């Protein structure tokens, strides 16, 4: 198993502000995303990832997001076996919300 790349909320904000084309996928549940998502993110609950695997782009960086970074880390590990390289938003939405005040 390869090491999963991690991206910090601060780094992600910089890259989005710079206009980078990133694919953001939020793997939280319906009731969690109701509280807000990163602008431009797509919502695919973790349990639906296996059925959605073919729809994920293989030629562009995908950043997976959850509440704390644990579920998105597991999604990245799962997708590795299909040759899909994802990055994990370390600290998840908890840290993202913390950096919004900066």
- Of 66, 76, 89, 93, catalytic: 66
Pairing of strands 23-26, 62-65: parallel
Based on the residue annotation, tell me whether 66 is a catalytic residue of this protein: yes
Handedness of CA 11, 85, 88, 28 (dihedral sign): positive
Catalytic residues: 66
């Amino acid at each position: 198993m390869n090491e999963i790349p991690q991206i910090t909320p601060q780094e992600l904000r910089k890259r989005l502000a710079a206009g980078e084309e990133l694919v953001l996928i939020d793997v939280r549940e319906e009731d969690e995303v109701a509280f807000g998502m990163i602008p431009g993110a797509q919502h695919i609950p973790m349990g639906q990832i296996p059925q959605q695997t073919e729809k994920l782009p293989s030629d562009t960086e995908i950043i997976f997001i959850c509440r704390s970074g644990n579920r998105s880390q597991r999604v990245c590990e799962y997708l590795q076996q299909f040759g899909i390289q994802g990055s994990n938003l370390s600290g998840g939405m908890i840290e993202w919300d913390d950096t919004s005040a900066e």
